Amino acid sequence: MFFKKEWMDLRVLLYCVLNAMSFIFSSYLLCLSPNNKINFSEKNNHSLFLLGSSCIYLLLLTTKLATAHTLLIVMGVYLAIIDLYYYIVDPYLSVLFLIGLLILYPSINWLFPLCVLVFFLLLSYLMPKKLGFGDIKLLVYWSIFLSPIQLIWLIFIASLTGILYIILYHLLTSNSLTKIAFVPFLTIALTIVLSII
């Protein structure tokens, strides 16, 4: 019985921390752009961040992910929100998450991330303006904590969901998209890969 109460207290604390993170994150976004595309005075936008942190909380409760993988998903959710509004992968936030992960896991293999970086730089040279450099940096960061098979599946699932979104958008609106925010699809794929593979 004591263990159950202690676990409930831990879950409540975790939920409070995630909600606090969502408000800190929304305050950070206010400083991100001078034109402030996101209006945080609206209740709906605060609800968006609360919903995001609640989804992360449920994910933590229902899966047995390692701490590094959980932080990767949290990083992905927050970067996806920024990408949806501004079409950028925020360099400061992603580097902060990466530093935190490297402090937690200092002994990592740098060969695979270096190979991933070289591959994507070569790909972006051969096919310019097809993949943003922010997306490449994010994949390199994530490759530090993923196996090659997981990274291949992540890219495949993210590309597939992105293509399905473009097709559905075109069918429902009869308009074509000139650009899409790709980090949300990468985050969805990361969550699937870390939960299943």
Token pair of 171 as six digits: 């069918």
Q: Decide if 136 contacts 115 (C-beta within 8 A).
A: no
Residue-by-residue pLDDT tens, the chain, 197 positions: 444 444 445 556 555 666 666 656 655 555 555 554 555 445 555 566 666 666 666 666 666 667 777 778 878 888 887 888 788 887 777 777 777 777 777 777 788 989 999 999 898 888 877 777 888 889 998 998 899 999 999 999 999 999 999 999 888 888 878 788 899 999 999 989 988 87
| Eight-state DSSP code of residue 87 | S
Q: What is the pTM of this model?
A: 0.74
Rounded to whole angstroms, the Cα distance separating 12 from 17 reads 9
Terminal Cα distance for the chain, rounded? 34
| DSSP string for 16-38 | HHHHHHHHHHHHHHHHH-TT--S
Helices (H), 33-147: 43-62, 67-86, 91-104, 111-126, 133-143
Domain boundaries, the chain: 5-196
| Residue 61 backbone zone (phi > 0: left; psi -120 to 50: alpha; other: beta) | alpha
